[in-house]
Structure 1
Amino acid sequence: MTAPLVIRVKDRDNVAVAVHDLETGIEVMPGVLTRDPIPQAHKVALVDIPKGGEIIRYGVVLGYAKHDIACGSWINEHMLDLPQSPSVEHMEYGTHIVPMEELPTPPRTTWMGYKNAVGPAGTRNILGVVTTVQCAAGVVNKAVQKIKQELLPKYPHVDDVVAVNHPYGCGVAINAPLAVIPIRAVRNLIRHPNFGGQIMLVGLGCEKLTYERLLEPDEINAENCLTLQECKGHDAMMKALMDMAERKLQRLNQRRREALPLSELVVG
């Protein structure tokens, strides 16, 4: 069977997506010849679309044609009038919930993942080193390089070590109403399913974004938190980070994939 040149996601779609770059004059579907070169992953019109007509992909309206579009034409963002985005303050959610009995039977009901004590399972087994403030990023980045070179090879069941940095935490209005958004994001990253519940949070010592804002009270201890200003110099910082990472890697290395229900898998 010849591989398709385009992919039409839903039957009601009036456009299809090019699998790879297409030249002019290629028949991508019966009766549909490309009128323009179509770049890979871009849309080609499957029917004549009048000015103001709907552009439908994934079964939903992406926008409206600014002018008549002939069948086989390349459709790009400059050819569409986009619908007005709804206000996020009053946006409805959960408006297209399909009843369980109407869902198709999945070809598989389990997957191989890393089970966590709390929350969904992980798809990988990673040590995440999270900073409280951008001022700690340089030291943490250097430490992660060293950990990956010197420690990670000793723990074959751990997939990777990553630094989670962010441009926040120093001299900010920490109690401002919208400060809850970046703080919430960092809190959630610390608990990423792929990090296996092993908290390694590195602070500087003078930031506004303190451990108390990111961790639960029982999580704030020397096992999970490392303050760089308490170390006497660069070498002491590196040793403290390496020692802490090794303890975390030893625990992560004991984890193994296991068959888990699809309800344990979060895709996002």
Structure 2
Amino acid sequence: MESHTSKPLYIKIKDIDNVAIVVNDNGLPKGTVFSDGLKLIEHIPQGHKVALNNIDQGNAIIRYGEIIGYAKVNIKKGSWINESVTEMPNAPELNELPIATKKVQELPPLDGYTFEGYRNADGSVGTRNILGITMSVNCVSGVVEYVAKIIEQDLLPKYPNVDGVVALTHLYGCGVAIDAPAAIVPIRSIHNLAKNPNFGGEIMVVSLGCEKLQPERLLKGTQDTIPIKLLEDDLVTLQDEHGFKAMVDHILNVAEKHLQRLNQRKRETVPASELVIGMQCGGSDAFSGVTSNPSVGFASDLLVRCGATVMFSEVTEVRDGIHLLTPRAANEEVGKALIREMQWYDDYLAAGKVDRSANTTPGNKKGGLNNIVEKAMGSIAKSGTSSIVEVLSPGQRPTKKGLIFAATPASDFVCGAQQVASGITLQVFTTGRGTPYGLAMVPVIKMSSRNIVAEQWFDLIDISAGDIALGKATIEDIGWRLFHLILDVASGRKKPWSDHWRLYNPLAIFNPAPIT
């Protein structure tokens, strides 16, 4: 894998684009001449945009064939186009979007692909065999995490078929407006989190006793969830215990019963249609929308052709590309649901006196992304080309297979938690700047957009899409490589680096409701 090239290179995506990004490591100096005669009139960093022709003040700056901004000043050919010279356009109007108007070319099914998974009684299939300990309130987090360490050290060696134990910590359950309309999001999410297929249907709950989110309410869930039936022995209420040691012993006794059942489970060959894969990006750069995210999109299409379920998310990172997504809706109902989730989030941000522009980070900008519009165009590439068959509100579980938009915030940790609540059993995470992100509940495959990141973080990045930028590989090449890696990781044949080092971020359940 080579990350370097001495020949000056830029990448232009669409014929109508009037900007391109510089490929070369460390950028290119003033005076550099490309093979087509374009000459840089100033230094341009790697991944940043060069004007391919003169752009007058007020005229459109076009990348991906879409307007990503307007020139604040007259921009000369060969100059650097960055945030300072770019005015962000307005977001697409939600009441003027085409819905289900694009006839998506259905690709032939892919038969014969399988993985080794854990079948569950409810019909779902896990990629891991984990004991998850659910909590009705954040007050018990310290106790549960304490016990989880004991389980890992003392009990797990007795149950070699169990992959681990996870304390499903969160910051909800009390001190909250439990009956606020938006409380449906955290309640539904915590409820569905316990039912993730990687936990094998073995549900136990630890409660304090006086919390607002009483166990009965958590187990009942919301109008759009299936109630959880819990044996009386599977609920531990700390306020009923006589001392800390009694709390610990009670949780350990309940946990061991679940471990005994989990240990009887074995991997078996199942079709790839049983996969539920989450797609996410974080620490994105200008290459993300050119190399890694399109490769993920190609793999997404392969998975859909296998009959699998694929989720993409991050509302603020699709909002400016929503006009490209609603035409791909399978029907009018799905298109309207996409618009509903965009509007809900617009209102949520407006209540905080911000808009989607607050999404873009200093790292995104250093990596060449001027604004959220440009970032969104690269982000939606993860969705591939398939029809969108369903839209989920935060924390909902899918009812269909295929490509699904699962509405979540764009925060890596919140998006990850919400996708786990929605039932993913493996996640693909792309990054342009690099991040040690990982989840304890599901394996996470990390893909870099540039080879130099994969070389620098050789023991954190699982796969690189950087060869695409150098012309040494195609999107299809990397997409197929990712597809086979997904099957291997889902089967337990390969372990991603985040699992190797046990780099697991805390759960961050989305709570848009008031805290009292």
TM band (smaller chain)? 0.7 to 0.9
Q: Which moved more, 1:128-137 or 1:29-38?
A: 29-38
Describe the SS at the equivalent of 1:117: coil
User: Partners in 2 of 1:9 and 1:194 — Cα distance?
Assistant: 42
Q: Which structure 2 residues correspond to residues 28-107 of structure 1 after superposition, within 5 A?
A: 31=36, 35-38=43-46, 42-45=47-50, 47-48=52-53, 50=55, 52-57=59-64, 62-64=68-70, 66-67=72-73, 68=75, 73=80, 75=82, 80-85=86-91, 95=100, 99=104, 102-103=106-107, 106=110
**Does structure 1 residue 255 correspond to structure 2 residue 263?**
no
Amino acid at match of 1:130: T
Q: Residues of 2 paired with 1:114 and 1:129: CA distance?
A: 19
What's the secondary structure of 1:112's corresponding residue? strand
Select which of 197, 221, 232 maps to 2:231: 221
Provide TM-score, normalisation by structure 1: 0.74
Alpha-carbon separation, structure 2, partners of 1:91 and 1:147: 55
Equivalent of 1:129, from 133, 148, 155? 133
**Residue 110 of structure 1: aligned partner:** 114
Cα distance in 1, alignment partners of residues 97 and 125 from structure 2: 28
The equivalent residue for 1:174 is 178
- Equivalent pair of 2:14/2:63 in contact (CA under 8 Å): no
Q: Which residue of 2 aligns with 1:141?
A: 145
Cα drift, residue 104 of structure 1: 6.0
Shift of 1:2: 5.4
Whole-angstrom CA distance in 2 between matches of 1:227 and 1:179: 23
Q: Is the 8 A contact 1:211 1:220 kept in 2?
A: no
Letter in 2 for 1:197: G
Aligned in 2, Cα 1:245/1:92: closer, same or farther, shift over 3 Å? farther
RMSD: 4.0
Per the TM alignment, residue 119 of structure 1 is displaced from its structure 2 partner at its CA by 6.1
CA shift for structure 1 position 252: 2.2
Whole-Å separation in 2 of the counterparts to 1:150 and 1:117: 28
Tell me: CA distance 1:173–1:109, structure 2 relative to 1, closer, same or farther (3 Å).
Answer: same
Structure whose alpha-carbon radius of gyration is higher: 1
Q: How many residues align?
A: 260
Q: Does the C-alpha gap of structure 1 residues 165 and 62 become closer, same or farther in structure 2, counting only changes over 3 Å? A: farther
**How far did 1:127 drift?**
1.7
User: d(CA) in 2 for partners of 1:86 and 1:221?
Assistant: 50
CA change 1:214–1:21 in 2 (3 A) is farther
Bigger helix share: 2
2:156 corresponds in structure 1 to: 152
Does structure 1 conserve the Cα–Cα contact (< 8 Å) formed by 2:60 and 2:67? no
> CA 1:150–1:179 in structure 2 vs 1: closer, same or farther (change >3 Å)?
same
Distance 1:220 1:95, change over 3 A: same
Would the aligned equivalents of 1:111 and 1:262 in 2 still touch at CA under 8 Å? Answer: no
Please state how far the C-alpha of 1:139 moved relative to its aligned partner. Answer: 0.5
What residue number does 1:209 align with?
213
Residue by residue over 1:83-138, the C-alpha shift from the partner in whole angstroms, topping out at 9 and shown as x without a partner, is: 444689x7979757764x52366597433333333364323222221211111111
**Residue 179 to residue 260, structure 1, CA distance change in 2 (3 Å):** same
Larger CA deviation: 249-258 vs 79-88: 79-88
2:251 corresponds in structure 1 to 241
- Report deviation, 1:218: 6.0
Change (3 A) 1:46 1:140: farther
Extract unaligned runs of 5+ from structure 2. Answer: 221-226, 280-516
Distance, in Å, in 2 between the alignment partners of 1:7 and 1:263 is 40
Q: What is the TM-score normalised by the length of structure 2?
A: 0.42
Distance 1:104 1:86, change over 3 A: same
**Uncovered stretches (5+) of structure 1, i.e. residues with no partner:** none
